[in-house]
Structure formats: C-alpha cells, structure tokens
Structure 1
Amino acid sequence: MPREALPVTADAKPTEVFDVVVIGGGAAGLMCALTAGGRGRRVLVLDHANRVGKKILMSGGGRCNFTNLYCEPDNFISANPHFVKSALSRYSQWDFIALVEKHGIPYHEKKLGQLFCDRSSRDIVRMLLDECAAVGVSVRTDTPVRDVQPGAPHRLEAGGEAIACESLVIATGGYSIPRMGATGFGLDLARTLGLLLQPTRPALVPFTLSGRPLEELEGLSGVALDTVTTAGGMGFRENLLFTHRGLSGPAVLQASSYWEEGQAVMIDLFPDLDLSAHLQALRTQRPKVELKSVLGEQLTRRVAQRWCELWVENRTLEQLSNADIERVVAACQPWTVWPSGTEGYRTAEVTLGGVDTGELSSKTMECRRVPGVYFIGEVVDVTGHLGGHNFQWAWASGHAAGEHA
C-alpha cells in the first residue's frame, strides 16, 4: 500500500508515495520486489505489458530453464568479469532452488546442469507473484512510465498517476525480443542520467548466411550435429542446427555472444576425432568403404552427401590420395563459416552490453552517481551463457538490490 499522499497544489493530482518503485516486472524486477517487501518496504512494481514475466513464460520452450547447477562467474560476459561475483555469491543457484522447492514446484535437470520446470514456466511466475503478495508488494500491469525525475524523492508519472519513492529500481531488460514487449527504456534512462553504457548487440542469437554459403546448405534445414563451435576465441561443445536462414542450435547461440561482424566462425564437425588420422587408418582397414559412408557416421547421410558434392568427390577410401584426405579434413576440422549477420534482436535471447558496471555498486546495484537509483538484470552489462545463467543473474542482482533499496 502507498503511504499517505504528499501535499499538492489544488490543480495537481495526488502523489502516491512508496518506499521502492521497480520499473519492470520480469525476473529481476519481481525478485527485487519480493526481497525488498520482505524487509518491510512498501513496494510498487510497474510494467507496461499486460502481464508480468513474459520472458519467463516463453523461456525454455515454456518450461523455464530457471537456473544452472554449475553457475559460476566465468559463465558471464562483462567488461568487468569480476562484477558478478558479489551478487552471485550472496544469492546462488542453491538459494533459488530452495525457493522453488519451498513452493513444491517439480523440476528436472535436462543436461549440463540446466534445470527446467516439469510442468510449465507459469509455475515460476506464480511463485514470484505469490511471494510478492505475501509481503504486500503492489503490481500494476498495462502501466507505462512516461516521465522519471530522479531526486529526493524520485518522481515519476505512470499510467496517468504521479508517484514518488525513496528508491527507484530499473529492471526493464534490453532490446531482445521486441514482440514480447522489450524496449530500450532502461538504457535510454541511463543515458539521460549521464551513465556510461557498454555497446549493445544481440546475443544468444542464430547466425544468418546469404548468397552462395546459404545456397550450399539448401535442403539441410532441421539437421542437427554435435560440434565444437568457436567464435572470438571461445568454443562450445553442443549441437549445431541448420536452418532456412543459416545456423542455430545451442553451440551457435553460445558462440554468437563472442562473435563480431566480419569474423569467421570455426566449426569442428568431428570433435572427438583426429579426422586425418582416422581416415588414414580406415583407408587401410576398410579400403572399399565410400567416403560419404564414413562421414555420414557423424554428419548424417544428408550432410555427408552434401559435403562430398561441395568439397571432395565421393570415392572409396582406397581411391583417396593424401591430398584428398587433407581436403576433406579442411572442410570439417574446422568447417569455416563467414556469417552475413545474425537474426538480430527479433530472436536474440538477451542483449549483450548495457549499463557499465563501473557505474554501479556490485554489492547493492545502486548507481554511484545517482543515489537511490538501481539497475538490475539484463539492462546491466552482464550477459550469461545459455542454460539458465541469465536467469540466475536476474535472481542474484534483483536480490542484491532488494536487500538495500
């Protein structure tokens, strides 16, 4: 509930007063709200969408990959890689798992420590809202914020109402997936406050190909391969997926966070083999077997056939020269791809970059130069790897701000 209204002039609307206003009802915002509310603070959450937690609801194919058993600081990208350590140590994956278990939500590990709801992402949103309700947090949807005036108190106009607060928390995310309601509100506000921002770009996003490179892969859409995919010096062992527009799959999404325009992507199609030595040995052991059959054992028949059409004629292994074998290896270890771009914020799971961590306290997430204003979650220059790490950053940063706002 709001405090008693501030004195106003006769022609002005009454001003509602809260201890804490959180702009953004996503993962970080709701965690911050329930934490602050648990300290006895009067908290209001404002969201411009028609419901809170939209990215939670669509995540993990509707099952919400809500954290990762192996979440560590080295699972994050930031201009300051040490910034995440404080928040993650004080609210870890084990703390969030305990909250999930407290609410009796069944979950499972899918792979690589990734935890998903057994039933639906709605369980996580309901848990957060129940926790907020239990400590008296007010949540308003369909309430865009039109004006923010930092001060003592901070003032804003939202949904046609005047609101004042002691602490203002920005949890509005980045540009990713605009159809889910993403905007640049928090980043724009940071700029108006004079804060330094790290350059933003789409991350955890599929690569696009164009021209001949895309034509060469026609007909392979839907095929997945086990690979090590490397960009910007970082490699990831996961599946690659061919698409109508280029390349996707977990390995590609991970690598995309390290890729910059104009760079090549290196894809090892035989991550468990020295392919050259393997083919040399098979040439002696199984001389009559066809190259496409050997490649198909790892690449699938369709991809093996295409690789032979593109780079080396399909023959029996005994017919291959050493030079032929090296041509095969050069097309597979690594297969070098030059993306024309990415699918952009339209499908990117997160926005890389954001409010520079040097502007914030790593303990409280409060702006060093604008007292009482906090930035949390995706709007900050902290981007997690695929697999629940970005949610864990949302929970940890939201909790850090909620303990102090």
Structure 2
Amino acid sequence: MKNILLAVTGGIAAYKAIDLTSKLTQANYNVRVMLTDNAQEFVQPLAFQAISRNVVYTNTFKEENPEQIQHVALGDWADAIVIAPATANIIAKLSVGMADDMVTSTLLATETPKFIAPAMNVHMYENARTQHNISILKGDGYEFIEPGDGYLACGYVAKGRMEEPLQIVARLNEYFNSSSQGATSESTTPTSSTFKGQHALVTAGPTMEELDPVRYLSNRSSGKIGYALAETLRDRGAQVTLVSGPTSLPDPEGVEVIRIESAQEMFEAVKQRYENVDIVFKAAAVSDYTPTEMLPHKLKKQEGELSVTFKRTPDILKYLGEHKSHQYLVGFAAETRDIERYAQDKLERKNADVIIANNVGDRSIGFSSDNNDYTMYFKDQSSVALGKKPKVELAQLIVDELETRWK
C-alpha cells in the first residue's frame, strides 16, 4: 500500500479534496492530510479525518508525536505528495522556498515526489507571474496536473478548475505503475506486458440520438471505465485509440481520441479502424434505437399523447464478432437481472472472447458511480468475479486478467 500526503490549500475547490481523499482510500492508498489555515475557512479537518482514518495536520507547532519533528517525518513517510487544490498563493510561496506553515514547511523539508493540481481564476492562472512560478517549480521537479476548462466559482467559463479527483487518482496510478512499484498491493503492472506494441481500441461513454435540435435519446453512461481502460492499456505500452461518446472527461494523454455523438458515428469510426487493431474493448453504452427522422425544428408541445417511431441502430459488437480475423474482442453487458445467463448468451451470439457483466439495477455502482462490480465471462466457460471496487482499479484488474489469457 502506497502512502499519499495530501496538502489542501485555501480555495473553493477545497471541497473537492474531500472527494479526492475518498477516491484515494478506495483505490487502496493510505492517506494523510494537511490543511492550511485558509483551507480551513472552506473545509474542516474532521471531514478528512473521518474518511482517511488518520490524524489531520494543521499546525507546524502541534507535534502529535514528541519523538518526531512532524513536518519532516510526514515528508519521509509519504511515497508521493499531492497539493490539491493548489492556489496561486501556495504556488508563489513554494517557488521562492517559503516555509511559514505546516504545508510549506513539509514540502521544503522533503525530496518526496510532488504533484500540484492548480485551481484558481483563469486570469490568475494565466498571469505572467503565476506562469513564471509554475515554470520554476517544474524546473525543481514538481509534477503539474493541469486544471480543466469549465464553470469557475467567479462566474467565468474557462481554464482553472481543479482536475477531477478520479483523474488525479489515475495520474498517481500511472506514476507508480511506470515506476514499476504498483499502485496497490493487489494490482501491479507486469514488467513485460502482453500489450506492449499492440494496437488497442476502446469505446466509451453514451451515444446521443437526436430527435430535434433540442431533444435527444441517450443514457447515464459516464465513460469512466472506458477512459480508465484506455489509460491502463497506454501504461502497458499499447497504442490506444479511444472512440468516445459525449462525456465530461478530459482526453487522456498519449491516447488518440475520436469524439462522436451518435451510434452510427461510433459504428463508422470503429469499423474504419477495426482491421488494424489487435484488441477491442467495447465499453460504450450504445443506444439500441434512434428516431427514424431528425426533425429540422423544435417539436412543439401539443394536446394529447405523442408517438415517436424508432429504428434499430447498428449492432457494433455483433458486426465486430462477425468480421474478426485476428482481433480479440472484449464486450460489456449492463444488465438488471439474470446477469450470468444474459452474459453467457451475449458471449455466444456476438462471437466475443470475453463479456464483462455488471448489474446496473444497483444504483450504488455502474454508470455515474466511481465504483462497479464486474464479472468476466470467457469463451472457455470460465469466469472471474472482480468484486466491487473503484473503476480505476477495476480497469487494472481487467487488463491484469487478460495479460495471462490473451494470445
């Protein structure tokens, strides 16, 4: 189990650090948290203590253990330190080597790898002084987890949002995996991966079937497992193409991303690339039906009931099964009952090599959740239950399982 020291500073995004603490503990990291005085104006130590089940550090002069100098011991204890959110103020302090509180004192007294997730107003972030400070810290070896674009607390829609907790966890997983240390005690990256040099194609997210310029048919898929798979495969040395429906997730670094909307567009994108790929993970939740026509203008409200005619969309997994030559085909089955029976049936009908099934009737997992509970069903009639875990960890376990089976 790896040790993560999380430093939380005083921005409105501090509330996301509570979620980050939860995501890290779910991913089997041991987490300790430090809060600046300004951070405590937004969040309280008790929330982090309850989630991490560790003491929260707020005061350089409050020594929890008289046998240690706390701000030195914490840096030695950690395998990585994450500053999230990192304000313009903390970035400026670190760039000149200040040590006037628990966070800055700890960071100055350690050589542990450090990751900074900035969060601030777009003009503060783009300010020449902030960018100068960032460049200094990069030169000093700090790793930056770039902020995303979106709605900011100040009202702007621009760059400056702290990266989502799930993506920060994925970045740490990537770091530990690339260091050949492993992100958890249960899941480690093989030194020589079966996927190295192979071309993997992953589909992810929902599709959007338009009825008129305002309305569309879609589903609750978040795309999280598909994106986690794409990043895991990339980390194993594969060349990865991700065909994604509409999601709020950022494009994974080092992955070719094809953005689509409709089932037909996804079908065309996959079909065009299928001949040149070695393995396919069809994790997208593709609409089975689409309106027979897309109305050119908004459908106006009228008295009585409304009937809409739908037609079938292309069955992408079936097409891939019918046309595969050398490809290894991994499908997904989101069911609400008779999970095993439907998964086994789909495995045979679609000529897949693996079907990964889960119960989407359980609202605590699947779709918008960060967790899921998968069972893998193989052509040889064997099955592997992966259990309920965070999706970033499940992606690792899925690829781990295929390391010994594929080829």
TM value normalised by structure 1: 0.23
* Higher-RCO chain (CA-CA 8 Å, sequence separation at least 6): 1
| Larger gyration radius, structure 1 or structure 2 | 1
TM value normalised by structure 2: 0.23
